[in-house]
A and B are shown apart, each in its own frame.
Chain A
Amino acid sequence: MLYLDNSATTKTHPEVIKVMADVMENYFGNPSSLHQKGLEAEKLLSKSREVVARSLGVLPQEIIFTSGGTEGDNLALKGIALAYQNRGKHIITTKIEHPAIINSCAQLEELGFEVTYLDVDELGLVNPQDVEKNIKNETILISVMHVNNEVGSIQPLAQIGEIIKNYPKIFFHVDAVQGFGKAPLELKEWNIDLATISGHKIHGPKGIGALYVKKGLNLFPLFTGGGQENNVRSGTENLPAIVGFAKACQIAREIFVDDSKKMRLYKEKCLEILKKDFPQIIINGPKDEKSSPYILNISVPKLQGEILLHALEEEEVYVSTGSACSSKKDILSPVLSAMKIDKEIMQGSIRVSFSYGVTEKDIEEFLDALARALKRLGKRG
């Protein structure tokens, strides 16, 4: 069995499960309560906030816990747009963002905001010059993803941040759900004001995430109520998941550098073999260091991605066609469309996504399974 759909979700790390079980059993208090059980919970909450902050290189008070990546993205975009709309109502984003960003922007358009969706090149990369060209007096927010969830292209955030630095009234948001823990991310150095991360993409629990919000920024809340999280995000804190998330961040921080280097080598080798032994296969997205070592998107022309997916499933190899969020829709991937990939190639695309602990042998096993599956489908080149 080989689970290679880690961009959809990851297996929860045993140590994460262990701490969560402990919190569920022993630290069940409501962090807002004044008694011992509440204080213990509050202490764990602050400690977890410190750990998550450290893994991002930011201050604890700059972390807001959310129910996940979607909420983080919604809170960042609408929170900034509604709080700063008196400065202007123009937002810049890209055509390859996750639906949480694209659809939040669509809602803001209904509210009278203007949104520019930047094109990407054929590798799925945004050109920083395009960002600058589209900045206007009314621009208040630029939101660019860190690593694209379908093709793994790593966006030039450092260069974009360098540009935005010259526009002190424009905020820079990064959807780092796919990149956090898997590609370098320097929030302070790259001049990023807000960043969304999610727990279950880094072997943490589902239903938890965080939004980094630079000190001093105001956000208009998505939900109101008890006033938790500094009045920005109401609702009883999901403590077991928060502690589990912090654990996952800590583990990611410890192993990410070595693991991604190793993974880079495996992916390079994998690409070589694909080129040599599978000449019919097309690689979508960058092949060099501009792509995440953890995401591989390939197409077999004239073969529906879903058919290949199920053929691989028979080999006990689990992959996906595009992002999980849109996997059940018949529409073509907006990401691959933005990359201007031929329709025939687009329909044949599958995403293979790796994570920590994937070995060289796993890659070999995947390639063997792919060869067998293609042979059965009569597509072996």
Chain B
Amino acid sequence: MRKVYLDHSATTPVRSEVAQVVTEYYTNIFGNPSSVHSFGREARKGIENAREQVANLINGKPEEIIFTSGGTEADNMAIIGSALANKNKGKHIITTAIEHHAVLDSCKYLEKEGFKVTYLPVDSEGMIDLETLKANITEETILITIMHVNNEVGTILPIKEVGAIAKERGILFHVDAVQSYGKLPIDVNEMNIDMLSASGHKIYGVKGVGCLYLRRGVKLHPIMFGGAQERKRRPGTENVPGIVGFGLASELAGQEMEMENQRLTVLRDKLITGILENIPCTQLNGHRTQRLPGNVNISFEFIEGESLLLMLDLKGIAASSGSACTSGSLDPSHVLMAMGLCHEIAHGSLRLTLGRDNTEEDIDYVLEVLPEIVERLRAMSPLYNNRDKHRNHREECSICTLRK
């Protein structure tokens, strides 16, 4: 059976160049970078080279890169760390309603610590409004944290514009770039970003490694304590092979970004059009144009996303209904709800995220099997069979954006 992996926003396979260098480091360059002997020095060289590779990709300086255990740690460090370090200046934070849980839960923690957090609403395409952002800034605002690309619907948020506003008002700006790093151009200077979180395993690097870009001069209250690694900002023996692999994955992603994005955009649009045109009662979630090249998110009316996933899985297609982290939960996606979808449409969403191993044949295969699966599932649904009656009922549902 054909195997098609379409869950690249959850995680990506490790690319062979990365696997090779990681294995090489595990085998031969195993020293502790803090050791003063040659084993330590060699390992240190690998880390510093990776630091340059990462810095280059976002136009930062190598000394502004702190390696972490991944995106979650970087988000926690940036948000909790900068809020605690700046609480004497004010205790207000602005974020959006559609952030990853690593950001949302860090904000929730700060609320318990007496901070006030504004969760900016988004429109039906997952976009924030810059005027609303401006209107919510107060004298007390010390931090704006906004994701670059939404992990579920792929909407690209106006980071550069937010950065300009933050700079003008003298407010720290953190960007959760876990879904965009290595996939979209990022320039921390041009975009006025003070802190940025990135992860290795979303760009064909290894799991368990990521980084926080921390602009020189920005103070953080550390969340972990121990040795003096990473200029005393992140203790713990460095994950040398993981970091070296992350550096290489970053460099390669930068080299291939433009070509790969062109290719993925064509495949993505073919997939979106093919589904919307051939399967009735479907809608695209997220922005039409300001969208990550590899992201497709579609709601199928009268279908449970999870049963769709299982059927696709039986056909060798790996997909998701939203973010992987929340896949065990029965709650509807907070992102789709914030975009104004009603529960049942949100439950029928399917996320297909494309990557470098996908070909046009993969897309053709999905377009071949998906309509049959949807038809079969709908045939079992009493709601679908009474859909006209049901639809009438739903038009009264005031928050739902579907076909309005």
Bound state CA distance, A235 and B309, in angstroms?
23
Q: What residues on A are CB-neighbors of B73 within 8 Å?
A: 67, 223, 235
B10:A32 contact, CB within 8 angstroms: yes
Q: What residues on B are CB-neighbors of A253 within 8 Å?
A: none
Q: Which of A80-129 contact B (CB under 8 A)?
A: 98-100, 103-104, 106-107
A 21-36 to B, binary, CB cutoff 8 A, 1 in contact else 0: 1001100111011111
Min CB–CB distance B199 → chain A (angstroms): 8
From B7, B201, B226, B237, contact of A35 by CB (8 A): B7
Min CB–CB distance A190 → chain B (angstroms): 25
Given A74-B225, A207-B209, the answer on whether A21 and B23 have CB atoms closer than 8 Å is yes
Q: Does A228 lie at the interface of the complex (its beta carbon under 8 Å from any beta carbon of B)? A: yes
Given A103-B225, A320-B37, the answer on whether A28 and B10 have CB atoms closer than 8 Å is no
Q: Which of A6-50 contact B (CB under 8 A)?
A: 8-12, 14, 16-17, 20-21, 24-25, 28-30, 32-38
B69:A207 contact, CB within 8 angstroms: yes
Q: Which of B11-39 contact A (CB under 8 A)?
A: 11-14, 19, 22-23, 26-27, 30-32, 34-39
Q: Which of B284-314 contact A (CB under 8 A)?
A: 306, 309-310, 312-313
Contacts A32-B10, A226-B325, A234-B325 aside, 16 further interface pairs with beta carbons under 8 A come to A8-B35, A14-B27, A17-B23, A24-B19, A32-B324, A33-B324, A69-B236, A74-B224, A103-B226, A207-B209, A225-B75, A225-B105, A227-B326, A235-B71, A238-B69, A309-B36
Given A24-B14, A234-B102, A325-B229, the answer on whether A33 and B327 have CB atoms closer than 8 Å is yes
Q: What residues on A are CB-neighbors of B312 within 8 Å?
A: 35
A12:B228 contact, CB within 8 angstroms: no
Q: What residues on B are CB-neighbors of A329 within 8 Å?
A: 228
Q: Does A222 lie at the interface of the complex (its beta carbon under 8 Å from any beta carbon of B)? A: yes
Given A200-B237, A226-B102, the answer on whether A313 and B37 have CB atoms closer than 8 Å is yes
A28:B12 contact, CB within 8 angstroms: yes
Q: Does B152 lie at the interface of the complex (its beta carbon under 8 Å from any beta carbon of A)? A: no
Bound state CA distance, A199 and B225, in angstroms?
19
B10:A33 contact, CB within 8 angstroms: yes
B19:A35 contact, CB within 8 angstroms: no
Bound state CA distance, A228 and B100, in angstroms?
14
Q: For A17, give the chain B residue with the smallest CB separation.
A: B26
Q: What residues on A are CB-neighbors of B320 within 8 Å?
A: 33-35
B225:A100 contact, CB within 8 angstroms: yes
Min CB–CB distance B333 → chain A (angstroms): 13
From A30, A205, A327, contact of B26 by CB (8 A): A205
Q: What residues on B are CB-neighbors of A169 within 8 Å?
A: none
A207:B239 contact, CB within 8 angstroms: yes
Q: What residues on A are CB-neighbors of B71 within 8 Å?
A: 235-236
B36:A12 contact, CB within 8 angstroms: no
A67:B69 contact, CB within 8 angstroms: yes
Q: What residues on A are CB-neighbors of B5 within 8 Å?
A: 37
B235:A320 contact, CB within 8 angstroms: no
Q: Does B70 lie at the interface of the complex (its beta carbon under 8 Å from any beta carbon of A)? A: yes
Nearest 8 interchain pairs by C-beta: A207-B239, A238-B208, A226-B325, A325-B227, A225-B102, A67-B69, A100-B226, A103-B225
A224:B108 contact, CB within 8 angstroms: yes
Bound state CA distance, A205 and B316, in angstroms?
32
Given A30-B11, A32-B325, the answer on whether A225 and B100 have CB atoms closer than 8 Å is yes
Min CB–CB distance B275 → chain A (angstroms): 18
Q: Does A3 lie at the interface of the complex (its beta carbon under 8 Å from any beta carbon of B)? A: yes
B30:A33 contact, CB within 8 angstroms: no
Q: What residues on A are CB-neighbors of B325 within 8 Å?
A: 32, 225-228, 234, 236
Q: What residues on B are CB-neighbors of A32 within 8 Å?
A: 10, 324-325, 327-328
Q: Does B374 lie at the interface of the complex (its beta carbon under 8 Å from any beta carbon of A)? A: no
Selected A-B contacts with CB under 8 Å, 11 pairs: A32-B10, A33-B10, A67-B208, A74-B225, A99-B225, A103-B235, A227-B101, A227-B325, A324-B34, A325-B226, A327-B36
Q: Does B124 lie at the interface of the complex (its beta carbon under 8 Å from any beta carbon of A)? A: no
Min CB–CB distance A133 → chain B (angstroms): 27
From B22, B207, B227, contact of A99 by CB (8 A): B227
Q: Does B223 lie at the interface of the complex (its beta carbon under 8 Å from any beta carbon of A)? A: yes
A98:B101 contact, CB within 8 angstroms: no
B39:A325 contact, CB within 8 angstroms: no
Given A206-B238, A325-B229, the answer on whether A38 and B10 have CB atoms closer than 8 Å is yes
Given A29-B11, A30-B324, A36-B313, the answer on whether A320 and B35 have CB atoms closer than 8 Å is yes
B72:A225 contact, CB within 8 angstroms: yes
Bound state CA distance, A103 and B222, in angstroms?
11
Q: Does B53 lie at the interface of the complex (its beta carbon under 8 Å from any beta carbon of A)? A: no
Bound state CA distance, A21 and B25, in angstroms?
12
Most B CB within 10 A of own CB, among A8, A11, A99:
A8
Min CB–CB distance A7 → chain B (angstroms): 9
Bound state CA distance, A241 and B76, in angstroms?
22
Given A3-B39, A9-B31, the answer on whether A225 and B101 have CB atoms closer than 8 Å is yes
Bound state CA distance, A8 and B75, in angstroms?
29
A240:B207 contact, CB within 8 angstroms: yes
B36:A320 contact, CB within 8 angstroms: yes
Q: What residues on B are CB-neighbors of A356 within 8 Å?
A: none
Q: What residues on B are CB-neighbors of A28 within 8 Å?
A: 11-14
Min CB–CB distance B211 → chain A (angstroms): 13
Q: For A77, give the chain B residue with the smallest CB separation.
A: B225
Q: Does A70 lie at the interface of the complex (its beta carbon under 8 Å from any beta carbon of B)? A: yes
Q: For A25, give the chain B residue with the smallest CB separation.
A: B19
Q: What residues on B are CB-neighbors of A103 within 8 Å?
A: 225-226, 235
A206:B226 contact, CB within 8 angstroms: no
